[in-house]
Chain A
Amino acid sequence: GQNIDQPTEMTATEGAIVQINCTYQTSGFNGLFWYQQHAGEAPTFLSYNVLDGLEEKGRFSSFLSRSKGYSYLLLKELQMKDSASYLCAVGEAAGNKLTFGGGTRVLVKP
């Protein structure tokens, strides 16, 4: 099975940087996904890591350490529209299934 932990909530100021950590224990690993979910809406895909290291996509970066069972999502130059929940998910090869953490609600303040 999978066990995925991430903080429940974080608050940051517009223009700042926030790092959302995710730790996981897994019986099978086929990549680490990050999704963004605005209140009342469906999740949308942000990033994917399967090898150790940093993947950068504009203001968003994601890091993975498979040996430590650890990932983080880094949000830079925060904007008010970044206020949302961020979901960490571990992929499993069989069925291309995803197991999600509880999500981290990020509140961006002016």
Chain B
Amino acid sequence: SQTIHQWPATLVQPVGSPLSLECTVEGTSNPNLYWYRQAAGRGLQLLFYSVGIGQISSEVPQNLSASRPQDRQFILSSKKLLLSDSGFYLCACLSLAGSYNEQFFGPGTRLTVL
């Protein structure tokens, strides 16, 4: 079965500091990978998705970037965090066990920017 690891689980960072969130997937190869952000009490906003190594599609303009250096590794970065970057960051991939191309989510990273 597939497993998604995300770290760190929680993070508190000052405004203007850099960011690196990591997502790794086990139990699958060449997965589609997705980064979402969820603000408090809100739905999920798709930030980036990747269909293969080095292939990144950005969904919304912002001060975040993503990279996929390896098949099962997806990284979300920022050079300078803003207060509005606070939220719950979720990595997802297409579920191997699913029948409908549903997405399977990792445990998430809760980021607070102060």
- Give chain A's interface residues, CB within 8 Å of chain B: 4, 30-31, 33, 40-45, 48, 50, 87, 89, 91, 95-103, 105
Contacts and interface: CB of A to CB of B under 8 A. Distances in A.
Interface of B: 32, 34, 36, 41-46, 49, 51, 57, 59, 90, 94-95, 98-108, 110
A33 B95 CA distance: 13
Nearest to B108: A42
Contacts of A97: 34, 46, 49, 59
Given A96-B32, A97-B49, A45 B101 contact: no
20 contacts: A4-B43, A33-B100, A40-B110, A41-B107, A42-B90, A43-B44, A45-B98, A48-B99, A87-B43, A89-B44, A95-B32, A95-B49, A97-B34, A97-B59, A98-B46, A98-B103, A100-B43, A100-B45, A102-B42, A103-B43
A40 B45 CA distance: 16
Contacts of B46: 97-100
Contact of A95 (B43, B57, B107, B110): B57
A11 to B, nearest CB: 16
